[in-house]
Every structure is written in structure tokens, then in C-alpha cells.
Amino acid sequence: MSDSDLPRRGKPPVFLERQSYRRRRVNDAARVLPFIGTLLWMIPLLWPENGAAVRSSSAIIYLFGVWGLLVLGAGLLSWRLSVQAREGDPERDGTGVPGGSGGAP
Amino acid sequence: MTMLNTLVAVCSAYAVFLFAIAFVAERAAMRGQARWLRSPIVYTLSLSIYCTAWTFYGAVGSAVRSGFEYLTIYLGPSLVLIGWWWILRKLVRIGRSQRITSVADLISSRYGKSNLLAVGVTILAVVGTTPYIALQLQSVTLSFEVFGVGDLPTGEEQGHTALWVAAGLALFTVIFGTRNLDANERHNGVVMAIAVEAVVKLFALLAVGVFVVWGLSGGVSGALQKIDASPLGAWQIDGGRWAGLMMLSAAAFLCLPRIFQVLVVENDNETHLRTASWAFPFYLGLMSLFVVPIAVIGLEMLPQGSNPDLFVLTVPLSVGQDGLAVLSFLGGFSSATSMVIVAAIALSTMVSNHVVMPLWLRYAGGGAKVSGDVRSVVLLARRLSIIGVVMLGYLYYRLTGGGAGLASIGLVSFAGMAQVMPAMLGGIFWRGASRIGALTGLTLGFGCWGYTLFLPSFGAGVFLPDAWIAAGPFGIGWLRPQALFGIEGMDPLLHAVVWSLILNTGGFVLASLASFPQPLERLQGAQFVNVFEHSAAPRSWTGRVAQAEDLMIMAQRILGARDAQALFEREAQLQGLGGTLPAPTPDFLETLERELAGSVGAATAHAMVGQIVGGMSVSVEDLMAVADETAQLMEYSARLEAQSQELARTAAQLREANAKLTRLSVQKDAFLSQISHELRTPMTSIRAFSEILRDTTGLKPQEQSKYASIIHDEAIRLTRLLDDLLDLSVLENGQVNLNLREGRLSDVLDRAVAAAAADEHGARLRIRRDRGAENVWLNTDLDRLSQVFINLVANARKYCDAERPMLEIRVRQGDRLVIDFVDNGTGISSEAQDVIFEKFSRVSDQKAGGAGLGLAICRQIITRLGGEIRYLPGQGGAAFRVTLPARIAMAAQ
């Protein structure tokens, strides 16, 4: 997490400006999105199988709906990140990949 | 039959089209107009080689057999792409900064550039990819079969089709995959061709899907109703397989050599990943969107027992849509060919870089000096690898008889490549991951996969005896390949995946924890795990222990003697060196590597320079060499410094000695004039008065007596002077005999003080003594010692210029007897201190009382007595210290 690498970089401010703060949160969102996706796609495991089984049409709509939303979310984040990269990230090296300490969990 | 002919014609035309695309892209890249080749969309489309014939045909077959399970294969990679921030971003950065050329390269590079690991991963990749290539051949063959219905091709002819396809693909790959081994291992033509194929297959599948939904099912709602009414109508899924396959496909997506090739190696710009993060899941969604409707319609329309893997083709055919069927066929053909091409390139890179080149360099590299031989070896190695890989796939296809469903073959391959995942993820996130750990994990995982999944996939009795599968090897039940440790009833694939990954990860972690990595591993580990802190740009050479001559020999072999020599000479001139060998600076190494890359490809060039330099980028060996050199330099400079200090000291001493000599020379001159004067004055008066006595008559007796006594006095003065000189010369020549007697120090001092006071104008000097301390018995030449004391006291009397002159005599007895004579005058100036013990030395000309021999005599005497006399500065006045050895002094009794 980018917050975790704060202590390593000399004396960064504990509280960030609004802009930098937004940046960090976009990065966080990019990290969280796959977990949301996994969660949503694991939900079918809870569906009943016999008796009142979920109809396939609903399953298709659900699964592809999630797919669409994830694509939309990823697209949105990608757009935000590219805007950030263009504006230049004062905290980073400016290689167009703003972000944390390597995304290490 | 005419259909088949048409199909062959269409195929050929399509192949020509692909060749043309690849050719145009290559040309454009060569002319530097490759910007459009490197757009994020092309990158995303090239990722679509994930969707092989397995997707194109097999997904529908899989949907018919196991419902929605086929989706997992696309959900996993979608999640990986959506979660690019976690893994892919890092992987791509590492790949670019470390110049990774393949999965095997990544693993080997991370774990201390271990070639053993690289070979292991290469073997795993070849073995794991072989079924996959077989799958592509099988699907193409099957699709041909569909159009040849009625001819009922025999098994022999099937084999022919597969062989022709394999040969064609090998040809294309050899041409475009190895034709340009130039800079950074990227294949513009191939990438462009597979991007076009990605569009073709997506378009074909969408076309079939749209036709099925709107043409055959009456729109979306109709299609949904049909689905609900079909055998696939109710949600039914094996939970374990749903989650397990999703994970497996995600893992395989990261590890499959062909995906790694396009994802990391061919990546041109890290920002492309951002676009791919949404565009590729979108592509996958589109690819899988119409699978279920096609499956349902196929089940509904086609007779029982039709191969569901071919519904994409047979559904349009059955309703007379030949054009659509041909388009669909092309889509499947595209999927199959793009996969085989990229897989063959990726595998051939691994095989040639990690297996063939090391062997060749070891066994044949020494002698060959012909220009261009390495280049041809690399090319040959790659081409043969490509052909070998494709033919292995063909062999697998013939061996398994093309019986199994496409999806199950693909999953065998997935499970095989997924074994690389623990080592890969561990390598980029955990610094503690070690080479031993990676080796252990890979070996266990690979072995387990081979035993539980790969070998049984050939069918019972081919590689594993029936009895083994049924009852375990040698009847050991808990080792049954499909029920390890007695856990029965599990899905064989899930069983193999779970056990192989558990053993793999467990072995990896435990062995990593237990082992201690080599320095190089630790360095690489830090560079991989902390890649975002270390690298903004690809690393350059930092080693500099390369032997310029070795580099020259290697460069000659690759570039040709003339070109290589010209290059080296140019570089040497640039560095400002004479001769033909430049210093192996990082800049030069980089230039050389670039030049070599034009001939043998960046990876090999990097590896070859690395071999001579001793490591890619900075290696621990380099660091150690630097440290050694530095240590040597430091030692050398310390020695130099010591020497120069010594020189400086010597120079100072010499200067001092020189000054002293100069002073002595001046004194000698002064003395000579002084001594002549001293000798001349009495001589003059002696001559004068003796002449008076001789020539003057009538002198009064008292006058006679006065003149005679003057002559006598002057003669005594002369004698004293000559005595002193004689004394000194005797002392200096060591001819003196010491007259040893016992006596008390206080008595000696008494005598000395009395004798000194007997001189003409005494009395004024006060002498302070400590009688108690002087109570020391001596065993020495008392007369000589008292001569020294007399001299010192007389000097004080003569030269002490204080108003109330006072001499203090201090006696101290430690391990030596120390007698200090300190007066309260102005003392002796520091430049004079050096010379006062020299002969003819006089402190001041004004008080020329003597010949300047006293202190010189004193020093000689004391030295003879085994002691020391020196001037003691800083005592407030002139101070002399006489030190006598303890054996001379006896304790007072």
C-alpha cells in the first residue's frame, strides 16, 4: 500500500493535499476492484442447485452483468490513472505509472 | 469435396494475407513507422492469444458437457487483468528492467541466474505446452473434417491434415519468429498478425452468436427462453471446480509461456497495461457471451451424438449458411494458428537461450572463430526449436488419438504451467524465496502433475500401467495417481491441481525458509521485490571486469573480424585510448551489446556479454571484484601515503641536517678565525715580551720578572687551549682510560662548585642544591665526572645573564640517575641548542671566554661513562640534563 511506504521516504507529510489524497484513493480502488470481482463471481457458489435452482438466463444476466460492471469500473480507473499520469504525480518518478511500493501485499 | 477445396483455397488465401500483414508490419517497423504497431489496442488484441481454438470451439463443447464451467477459464484472467495493479504491473516492470525474455528467464534471473532452474522451467513449459499445441492441431483437423463430411476421412488422412497444418505453422513461425532477432526480442510482424487474427476470431464468433440469437432464436428474450428450456436450463455447477478452475486459469494466465511473451516480453510501454486492464476483460466477455446460446441451439438442432466442440461450425452449416461457416472456420483457424505461433516463439526462445546456447557455448564455443557462426547457431537453434515444438504437439496429438475433449486437454496444460506460479509470485513478492525453494517446489509440483494428470491423460496403459491407476504403484493404495493419500472421489483435475500446488507451494516455502540464498540471489531478490524503488528505466551494464580481449574474440565471431575491429577501434578512440582495445566501460558494453543484438538478438547478446563480463547488470561477483580492487587500491594508496610521509620526514631531517651543517661550517669558519686569534694573541705577546727581554738592555729586575710572568701566563693559556683540544681528540678517539672509583655525588658536586668558584669573578652566582637527594654513591670515573660538572657550573657562571643569577642543581634517582643544572638566565635560543655540543661552538661571541670546546668535551665524557647529556628546553633558563645509568649509582648506604 502506498501508505505503508511513507516512513521509507524521508519525511513525507502525514496528511496530504486534496489532490494527492484523491490519487491515493484511486490507487486503492485499483487494488480493491479485483477482490470485488472475485467476491461477486463467487456468489454463484451460494445458489441452490436442486429444487429451486437458479435459471440459466438469470445466471447469464448476473455473471455478464458483473463482467460489464467490472469492465466499466476498470475502464473508469484506467481513465483516472491516465489523467493522473498526464498531470504528473509529484510524489512519484513520473514514469506514467503512479503508485505504491510495488503493490506488495 | 468442392467445399473442402474451397476451404483449402480460403485457408491458403488467409495464410497469404497473414504473411502479408506480418511483412508489412515488419517493413513499417524497420522504417521506424511503428507507432501504430505499438498502440495499446494492438497490445490488448495480442493478449487475445489466450483465446485459442479451445475457446473458439471448446468453450461451446465445455458448456454442453458441464454448463457454465467454461466461464471460469475467462473469469480468472479477467480478474488478473482487473487486478493488474497487484501483479501484472510489477511483472511488466521487472520484465522491462531486467530484460526478461521468457518465463524461464524470469525464474532463473530471480533465483540468482540459475541455469538449472531455467532448464527446469523450459522443460516444464515444453511438456506443458505440447498438449496445448496438440489441441490446436486437433481442432483444425476436426474443423476440416466437418467440411469434408461425406468423404469420411480415415485416420491416416486426419494425420495428414494435422501434419500439413503443423508444417504450415512451423514455416510461418520460422519466417516471422526468427527472421528478425534484432533489438529487444520483439516481433512486430508476429504481433501485428496475431492482433489481426484476434479481430478475425472475435468477429467470427460474434457473427455466429448474433446469427444464432437473432437469426435462429428470435432475439435476446427468445434466446433466454430457449436456454431456460434446454438441458442447460438450471444452474448447476461443481463449486470446487468453479473456484478451482478460476484460480487455475488465473495462475496459468500468468505462467503460460505464450501469454508471458505478449504480456511482458513484447510489452512496449507500461501504460498499455492500463488500457488492457479493461479492454481485455471486455474482449473475453465478448468471446464468451454467445457460447451458451450456441450450445443450446446446437443441442436443439443437431442430431444426438454430434461433437459439441464443433457446434460453432456445424450450426451455421446445418442451416445452409456456408459463408458464415467459412468465416467461423477462419475464426477457429486464426485462434489455433496464433496460439501455435506465439507458443512456438516463446518456447524456442527458452530452448535456444537456456538449453542450446549454454551447451553450444560450453562445448563448441571455444574453437570457432569464423565470423557469423554464433548468429547462425542461434538462428538454427530457434528454427529447430520451433519445428521441434510444433512437431512434439503433433506427436502428442497422434499419441492421444485426438480423443479427449478440447477443454480437458487444455486444462492438463494449464495445470502444468501453473506449477511455475508459486516460484514466480514468491519471487516477485517475497525476498526470502530462494533458489533451493524454487527448485524444490517446481520439482515436487511438476512431478505430482506429471504423475497424477499428465501421464494418465494419455490413457491407462500408455505410460502408466492399468494396475497402477487402479491400485497404485506396486499395490500401494495411497499412491494411486488419481487418489493420492487415499482421498477418493475427487475430480481428477481438481485432485491433481490441489495436490500439485499444495506440494509445490509447501516445498517452495519450507525449502526457502530452511535454505540460505547465495549473495546473487539475495541481490536479485531485492531488485525484483523492490522493483519500483530500484528501477525507472532498464538497467544498464555496470560490470567492468570484462576482459576487452575476450569481448573482442566474441565480437569477431559474431560480427566478423573487420567490423568488430572497426567497432573496437572506434570505441577506443572515443575513450581517448590508443590501440585497438577500449576499456570495458559500461557505455562500451552497452554499445557492444546493441551491436551484437542486431545479429543474435538482445537476449543472447546480453547473455554472451554477461558470460564474459560475469553477470547481467551488476552481479555480486562484480561487486566483490570491485570491493577487492578497491581494497587493493586503498592498501596501495595507504602504502603510498606512508611512503610519502616517510619521504617527507626524511626530507625534513635532511633539511635539518643541512642547516646544521651550514651552521657548523659557519661556526668552524668563525672558530678558525677565533682560534687563530686566540693562538695569535698570546703568541704575539710572548714574542713581543721575549723580544723586549732579548733586545732591551738595562731592564729592571722587576720589569724582567713581570715580562717573564706575562710570557709564562700566555704560555699557560696556550697550553690549556692545546690541552683541551688534545683532551677532546683523545676522548673522541676512545683512547681514554677511565679511572673508576667510588664516591659520593654530593662530594663530586662540592668539588665542582668549589673549582668553578675558584675562577676569576665568581661569588655572584648563587647555587641551590638538595643535599638529601645528592646522597648517592657512585662507582665511576669521579675526576671526569667532576670535570663535566665544573664545566656546567662554570658555564652558568659565565653565561647566566640574570640580574641575580642562580643555578639550581636537581638530582633525581629513578631507574637512572638524573642531574639537572638549571639557571635563571634567558637560556639558549632554539637554533643554537642544536650546536652547543659541537666542537668550537660558542653561544655568544661577546662573552668569548673559551674555545667552545667545553660542552663538546662534556658530551664525550658522559658518553664514555655510559650516560647522556642534553639541553633541556623550556625550564625558564639554560638547563642541562645529565643522565647516568643506574649501575653507576649505588643506593646510599
CA-CA distance, B444 to B496, in Å (whole number)?
12
- Chain B interface includes A6 (CB < 8 A): no
B718, three cell numbers:
696556550
pLDDT given at position B165: 81
Cβ of B627: how many Cβ atoms within 10 Å?
Answer: 11
Residue of B820, B713, B807 lying closest to B762 (CA atoms)? B807
Strands B868-871 and B741-744 turn out to be unpaired
Segment (H or E) for B189:
helix B188-210
Tell if the CB–CB gap between A34 and B83 is shorter than 8 Å.
Answer: yes
Distance of residue A71 Cα from the nearest chain B Cα, in angstroms: 5
Helices (H), B290-372: 291-301, 311-318, 322-350, 357-363
Phi, psi (5° rounding) for residue B292? -65, -45
Residue of B443, B444, B468 lying closest to B455 (CA atoms)? B468
pLDDT given at position B748: 86
CB contacts of B289 in chain A (<8 Å) are: 64
pLDDT at A100 > cutoff 80: no
Tell me which residues of chain A, numbers 67 to 86, contact chain B at a CB-CB cutoff of 8 Å: 67-68, 70-75, 77-78, 81-82, 85
Instruction: Lowest mean pLDDT of B179-183, B275-279, B739-743, B776-780, name the range.
Output: B179-183
Per-residue pLDDT band for B469 (boundaries 50, 70, 90) equals: low
Beta strands in B359-456 (DSSP E): none
Q: Which residue has the higher pLDDT, B533 or A73?
A: A73
Residue of B53, B60, B47 lying closest to B288 (CA atoms)? B60
Write the single-letter amino acid at B419. Answer: Q
* CB-CB contact of B792 with B821 (8 Å): yes
pLDDT given at position B404: 54
pLDDT tens profile B87-96: 888 888 888 7
Distance of residue A37 Cα from the nearest chain B Cα, in angstroms: 7
pLDDT tens profile B290-321: 888 888 888 888 887 778 888 888 888 888 88
Tell if the CB–CB gap between B86 and A103 is shorter than 8 Å.
Answer: yes
Tell if the CB–CB gap between A56 and B78 is shorter than 8 Å.
Answer: no
Instruction: Lowest mean pLDDT of B130-139, B381-390, B534-543, name the range.
Output: B534-543
pLDDT tens profile B23-64: 888 888 777 766 777 788 888 998 888 888 878 888 888 888
CA-CA distance, B244 to A44, in Å (whole number)?
14
pLDDT at B264 > cutoff 80: yes
Residue ranges per structural domain of chain A: 2-87
Q: Which residue has the cell 489466450?
A: B50
Q: Which residue has the higher pLDDT, B114 or B749?
A: B749
CB contacts of A95 in chain B (<8 Å) are: 270, 536
Domain B738-890 part of CATH 3.30.565.10: yes
pLDDT given at position B648: 92
pLDDT given at position B668: 76
B138, three cell numbers:
486437433
Mean pLDDT of B646-655: 92
Mean pLDDT of B796-804: 80
pLDDT at B366 > cutoff 60: no
Radius of gyration of chain A (CA): 19
Question: Using CB atoms within 10 A of its CB, is residue B12 exposed (0-12), middle (13-18) or buried (19+)?
Answer: exposed
pLDDT at B825 > cutoff 50: yes
Instruction: Lowest mean pLDDT of B301-310, B507-516, B543-552, name the range.
Output: B543-552
Which residue in A has a C-alpha nearest to residue B81's C-alpha?
Answer: A34
- Chain B interface includes A39 (CB < 8 A): no
- Chain B interface includes A56 (CB < 8 A): yes
pLDDT given at position B848: 46
pLDDT given at position B80: 92
CB contacts of A62 in chain B (<8 Å) are: none
- B480 secondary structure, DSSP code: -
- Chain B interface includes A59 (CB < 8 A): yes
pLDDT given at position B507: 93
Identify which of A31, A57, A99 has the shortest CB distance to residue B228.
A57
Number of H helices, E strands in chain A: 2, 0
Tell if the CB–CB gap between A71 and B236 is shorter than 8 Å.
Answer: no
pLDDT at B76 > cutoff 70: yes
Tell if the CB–CB gap between A34 and B82 is shorter than 8 Å.
Answer: yes
CB contacts of B530 in chain A (<8 Å) are: 101-102
C-alpha B188, offset from chain centre: 33
CA-CA distance, B166 to B172, in Å (whole number)?
10
Residue of B250, B269, B253, B346 lying closest to B89 (CA atoms)? B269
Q: B2-362+375-408, what's its fold?
A: Sodium/glucose cotransporter (1.20.1730)
Identify which of A31, A53, A58 has the shortest CB distance to residue B236.
A53
Range B660-671 burial, b when 16+ CB lie within 10 A, else e: eeebbeebbeeb
Question: Using CB atoms within 10 A of its CB, is residue A87 exposed (0-12), middle (13-18) or buried (19+)?
Answer: exposed
Mean pLDDT of all residues belonging to chain A: 72
CA-CA distance, B55 to B640, in Å (whole number)?
74
CA-CA distance, B697 to B255, in Å (whole number)?
140
Which residue in A has a C-alpha nearest to residue B269's C-alpha?
Answer: A96
pLDDT at B541 > cutoff 60: no
- B541 Cβ contact partners less than 8 Å away, ≥ 6 residues apart: B586, B589, B590, B593, B609, B613, B617
pLDDT given at position B530: 80
Tell if the CB–CB gap between B224 and A60 is shorter than 8 Å.
Answer: yes
Distance of residue B90 Cα from the nearest chain A Cα, in angstroms: 6
For residue A96, give the 3-state DSSP assignment: coil
CB contacts of A73 in chain B (<8 Å) are: 82
Distance of residue B215 Cα from the nearest chain A Cα, in angstroms: 19
pLDDT given at position B520: 72
Cβ pairs A/B, distance under 8 A: 132
B552, three cell numbers:
573482442
CB contacts of B270 in chain A (<8 Å) are: 95-97
pLDDT at B180 > cutoff 70: no
pLDDT given at position A35: 92
Strands B777-780 and B806-813 turn out to be unpaired
Which range of B203-212, B575-584, B812-821, B846-855 scores highest in mean pLDDT? It is B203-212
Distance of residue B77 Cα from the nearest chain A Cα, in angstroms: 11
A45, three cell numbers:
457458489
CA-CA distance, B36 to B54, in Å (whole number)?
30
Residue of B866, B258, B752, B795 lying closest to B883 (CA atoms)? B866
A46, three cell numbers:
451460494
Distance of residue A105 Cα from the nearest chain B Cα, in angstroms: 8
Mean pLDDT of all residues belonging to chain B: 79
Q: What is the longest distance spanned by two Cα atoms in chain A?
A: 62
Tell if the CB–CB gap between B271 and A82 is shorter than 8 Å.
Answer: yes
Tell if the CB–CB gap between B285 and A27 is shorter than 8 Å.
Answer: no
Which residue in A has a C-alpha nearest to residue B282's C-alpha?
Answer: A71
pLDDT tens profile B336-356: 888 888 888 888 888 887 888
Q: Which residue has the higher pLDDT, B233 or B210?
A: B210
Question: Using CB atoms within 10 A of its CB, is residue B545 exposed (0-12), middle (13-18) or buried (19+)?
Answer: middle
Tell if the CB–CB gap between A96 and B270 is shorter than 8 Å.
Answer: yes
Q: Which of B86, B274, B299 to mutate to test the interface with A (most CBs of A within 10 A)?
A: B274
What are residue B812's DSSP bridge partners? B818
Tell if the CB–CB gap between A74 and B93 is shorter than 8 Å.
Answer: no
* CB-CB contact of B783 with B824 (8 Å): no
CA-CA distance, B863 to B883, in Å (whole number)?
10
For residue B813, give the 3-state DSSP assignment: strand
- Chain B interface includes A43 (CB < 8 A): no
- The interaxial angle of helices B420-429 and B239-255, nearest 10 deg, is 70
Tell if the CB–CB gap between B236 and A49 is shorter than 8 Å.
Answer: yes
Write the single-letter amino acid at B841. Answer: S
pLDDT at B83 > cutoff 60: yes
- B630 Cβ contact partners less than 8 Å away, ≥ 6 residues apart: none
- What ipTM does this complex have? 0.77
Per-residue pLDDT band for B754 (boundaries 50, 70, 90) equals: confident
Mean pLDDT of A18-39: 86
pLDDT tens profile B668-719: 787 777 677 777 777 888 888 888 888 888 888 888 888 888 888 888 878 8
Within 13 Å, how many C-alpha atoms sit on residue B524's CB side?
29
- The interaxial angle of helices B406-417 and B239-255, nearest 10 deg, is 60
Identify which of A35, A59, A73 has the shortest CB distance to residue B235.
A59
Tell if the CB–CB gap between B239 and A68 is shorter than 8 Å.
Answer: no
CA-CA distance, B651 to B663, in Å (whole number)?
18
Which range of A46-55, B651-660, B735-744, B759-768 scores highest in mean pLDDT? It is B651-660
pLDDT at B369 > cutoff 50: no
Strands B816-823 and B741-744 turn out to be unpaired
pLDDT given at position B373: 62
What are residue B809's DSSP bridge partners? B769, B821
Cβ of B320: how many Cβ atoms within 10 Å?
Answer: 9
pLDDT given at position B183: 38
A65, three cell numbers:
452483468
Sign for the CA dihedral angle at B51, B53, B54, B56 comes to positive
Identify which of B235, B429, B529 has the shortest CB distance to residue A47.
B235
Mean pLDDT of A74-100: 65
CA-CA distance, B131 to B411, in Å (whole number)?
9
Tell if the CB–CB gap between A45 and B243 is shorter than 8 Å.
Answer: yes
B818, three cell numbers:
638524573
Sign for the CA dihedral angle at B191, B196, B197, B203 comes to positive
Range B18-33 burial, b when 16+ CB lie within 10 A, else e: bbebbbebbebbeeee
Q: B623-731, what's its fold?
A: Helix Hairpins (1.10.287)
The 3-state secondary structure of A9-29 reads CCCCCCCCCHHHHHHHHHHHH
Residue of B8, B491, B606 lying closest to B248 (CA atoms)? B491
Q: Which residue has the cell 464468451?
A: B288
Write the single-letter amino acid at B340. Answer: V
DSSP state string for B210-263:
HIIIIIIS-HHHHHHHHHHHSTT-B----HHHHHHHHHHHHHHHHH-HHHHIII
Q: Which residue has the higher pLDDT, A87 or B451?
A: B451
